[in-house]
Amino acid sequence: MDGHFTGYASLFGVPDLGRDVVAPGAFAASLSARGAAGVRMLWQHDPAEPVGRWLSLTEDARGLRVAGQLNLAVQRGRELDALLREGALDGLSIGFRTQRATPERGGLRRLHSLDLWEISLVTFPLQPGARIAGKAAPAPPLADAIRAFARRVAPPRPTALGRPAAPLPHQKRFA
């Protein structure tokens, strides 16, 4: 595997187990200032355990969408990749400093502005919906894409008797 994955590190409008609710736009200033390269990817929020890098961090209508790449040159990265592949690990969690928040009814706290420092792969996320969506399929290499296209459009091959062979299951015969 190649260590790529996607998911949501935070969901907007959904209380976490600590009774915080992240508001849409809460990450905008931080993402603008830091970019994906300025936010660390850690294992279990441990600053001694960097495990990869974030390729993209974007806010959409649902929350903070992430795409990451585990560093497979380090042992922990290979271990996490194996756990992701097997479905044994799928949690994400954010590490941040609150810049602006307001209290809400029911003991909730709405987070309006956050300084995002890190996003961790975790066993148990505080935001139950903050999950890795699955392994992102890498784009096929150009040579493989060209070969696949050529197989689809190639004319039928002649048989030993000089007649066209029946098309392969993945080929269509054009009139």
Beta-carbon contacts of residue 107 (< 8 Å; ≥ 6 apart): 19
What's at 29, amino acid-wise?
Answer: A
For the residues 122-144, what does the mean pLDDT come to? Answer: 76
pLDDT of residue 67: 97
Over 90: is that where the pLDDT of 174 sits? no
Q: What percent of the chain has pLDDT over 90?
A: 75
Render the burial of 16-55: b for 16+ CB within 10 Å, e for the rest.
Answer: beeebbbbeebbeebbeebebeebbbbbebeeebbbbebb
- Report pLDDT digits (tens) over 140-155: 556 556 666 666 776 6
pLDDT score recorded for residue 136: 47
Query: What's the whole-number mean pLDDT along residues 52-77?
Result: 97
* C-alpha to C-alpha distance for 12 and 30, rounded to whole angstroms: 16
Residue 31 has pLDDT above 80, yes or no: yes
pTM of the entire structure? 0.76
Res. 38: pLDDT tops 70: yes
Q: Give residue 4's pLDDT.
A: 95
Dihedral of CA 32/60/137/89: which sign?
positive
Q: Which residue has the tokens 């200033």?
A: 29
String of DSSP letters for 128-170 = TT-BEEEPPPPPPPHHHHHHHHHHHHPPPPB-TTSSBPPPPTT
**90-102: per-residue pLDDT in tens?**
999 999 999 999 9
- What's the confidence (pLDDT) of residue 116? 98
Q: Which pLDDT value is given to residue 2?
A: 87
Please check whether the domain covering 4-134 is classified as CATH 3.20.16.10: yes
Domain ranges for the chain, please list them. Answer: 4-134, 139-175
Q: Which residues face 116 on adjacent strands?
A: 96
Distance CA(47)–CA(74), nearest Å, equals 15
Q: Categorize the per-residue pLDDT at 171 as very low, low, confident or very high, splitting at 50, 70 and 90.
A: very low
What pLDDT, on a 0 to 100 scale, did the predictor assign at position 166?
54
Residue of 157 and 131 predicted with greater confidence: 131
CA distance 6 to 136: 6
Token pair for 98: 């609150």
More confident residue, 7 or 139: 7
Helices (H), 37-123: 75-86
* pLDDT (0 to 100) of residue 22: 98
